[in-house]
Amino acid sequence: MNILITGGVGFIGTNAAIYFSKNKKNKITLIDNFSRVGVDKNAQFLKEDFPKIKIINSYVGAIKNYEEEIKTANAIIHLAGQTAVTMSIKKPHYDFKNNLLESFILLDFIRRKNPKATILYSSTNKVYGDLKRRLYSRHQKPIDEDEKLDFISPYGCSKGAADLYFLDYGRIYGLKTVVFRQSCIYGPHQIGVEDQGWVAHFAKQFLLKKPITIFGDGHQVRDLLYVKDLIKAYQLAIKNIDKVKGQPFNIGGGINNTYSLLQVINILDKYFKYKMKLSYQPIRVGDQKYFVSANKKIKKLLGWQPTTDFNKGIKRLIYWQKNNIAV
């Protein structure tokens, strides 16, 4: 199978490339413009350990650079994008271009030139807004796909609009699109920074013995999903595309892998055997106090559920960081 992955040397992209290249029959091509600082190391790793994977340095919107690869792809996994809410507020035009405009250019080219391809889009739990109304509920429950869409922040708007475009192209043109509204993903090859990828950022700060700033009270709750579990869901969706095409899926670590920021700090305190120095800033725009993915629909249709316990997954992330981040 020909698999094209945009954002292919990013965190999720690198893990997807590794996973899918284990099947020797797959031909993998990665598109990435290397705009995320540090991803050149992922590219270097892939070049050395997986030399058969083709890496094309290009913007997603510059279709000419990889036209043939799109036309001949059986599956396209669209991961490329600007990933930080903070950056989207600072540079909304940049965010719009990278997340919505370029996604649209890619999607519409697929419609015209390869409408039979399977297309996965990596959306986000941010399409449900800050879920403020849930703050007042005594009995919070995991979020399913019927939750009201509510785009807060330019990032929410650009990801959410692209999310709806992918679904609508499934409806109107019959494209085989699937949208994953991903919760918080973590794992090896993740270059976490303060603005995005908080689990990896926290672990890195512990390794480097640098302080951590918490935005808000630290009681925000997320269900944390180990990246390999996510890729397994991608693989199942590709394999069972007729069951899932045209649909969105909330996907996360679920109730068993739900932690607050302070609980993760506590786990890391114990692992590294020292007490992290914390400082506090006001909560950031659009931040959700609570997000836990119901995972019910994906379980029902694909039999998927998370299998990696956070306490195991975090150790694998730290192991990777120890070998890849200069301490």
Ligand X SMILES: NC(=O)c1ccc[n+]([C@@H]2O[C@H](COP(=O)([O-])OP(=O)(O)OC[C@H]3O[C@@H](n4cnc5c(N)ncnc54)[C@H](O)[C@@H]3O)[C@@H](O)[C@H]2O)c1
How would you class 245 by CB atoms within 10 Å of its CB: exposed for 0-12, middle for 13-18, buried for 19 or more?
Answer: middle
Can you tell me which of 3, 4, 19, 33 binds ligand X, judged by CB under 6 A?
33
Q: Would you say the C-alpha torsion 142, 146, 152, 157 has a positive or negative sign? A: positive
Residues 144-183, mask of contacts with ligand X (x by CB under 6 A): ---------------x----------------------x-
Q: How far is CA 257 from CA 120, 186, 202, 272, 311, in A?
A: 24, 12, 17, 20, 9
Of 121, 268, 290, the closest CA to residue 192 belongs to 268
Q: Which is nearer to ligand X, 68 or 270 (CB)?
A: 68
**In the numeric block, which tokens belong to residue 149?**
């869409």
Q: How far is CA 293 from CA 34, 212, 218, in A?
A: 30, 26, 19
155 is catalytic: yes
**DSSP annotation of 315:** H
Catalytic residue among 66, 121, 155, 234: 155
If one asks whether residue 258 binds ligand X (CB under 6 A), the answer comes out as no
In whole angstroms, the minimum distance from the beta carbon of 99 to ligand X comes to: 7
**What's the CA gap between 11 and 197, in Å, rounded?**
10
Can you tell me which of 45, 50, 59, 320 binds ligand X, judged by CB under 6 A?
59
Can you tell me which of 4, 28, 32, 304 binds ligand X, judged by CB under 6 A?
32
**In the numeric block, which tokens belong to residue 150?**
């509510």
If one asks whether residue 80 binds ligand X (CB under 6 A), the answer comes out as yes
If one asks whether residue 94 binds ligand X (CB under 6 A), the answer comes out as no
If one asks whether residue 261 binds ligand X (CB under 6 A), the answer comes out as no
Can you tell me which of 3, 5, 13, 169 binds ligand X, judged by CB under 6 A?
13
If one asks whether residue 98 binds ligand X (CB under 6 A), the answer comes out as yes
If one asks whether residue 185 binds ligand X (CB under 6 A), the answer comes out as yes
**What's the CA gap between 95 and 70, in Å, rounded?**
23
In the block, which residue shows the tokens 């279709």? 63
| Count of residues in contact with ligand X, rule CB under 6 A | 30
If one asks whether residue 53 binds ligand X (CB under 6 A), the answer comes out as no
In whole angstroms, the minimum distance from the beta carbon of 12 to ligand X comes to: 4
Residues 195-234, mask of contacts with ligand X (x by CB under 6 A): --x-------------------------------------
Contacts of 68 (CB under 8 A, 6+ apart): none
Can you tell me which of 4, 17, 36, 321 binds ligand X, judged by CB under 6 A?
36
If one asks whether residue 7 binds ligand X (CB under 6 A), the answer comes out as yes
Of 195, 231, 4, 190, the closest CA to residue 91 belongs to 195
Burial 49-62 (b: 16+ CB within 10 A, else e): ebeebebbebbbbe
Residues 103-142, mask of contacts with ligand X (x by CB under 6 A): -------------------x-x------------------
In whole angstroms, the minimum distance from the beta carbon of 287 to ligand X comes to: 14
What are the backbone dihedrals phi and psi of residue 91, each rounded to the nearest 5 degrees, phi first? -130, 75
If one asks whether residue 257 binds ligand X (CB under 6 A), the answer comes out as no
Residue positions annotated with a catalytic role:
155
List of residues contacting ligand X (CB under 6 A): 6-7, 9-13, 31-36, 39, 59-60, 79-83, 98, 102, 122, 124, 159, 182, 184-185, 197
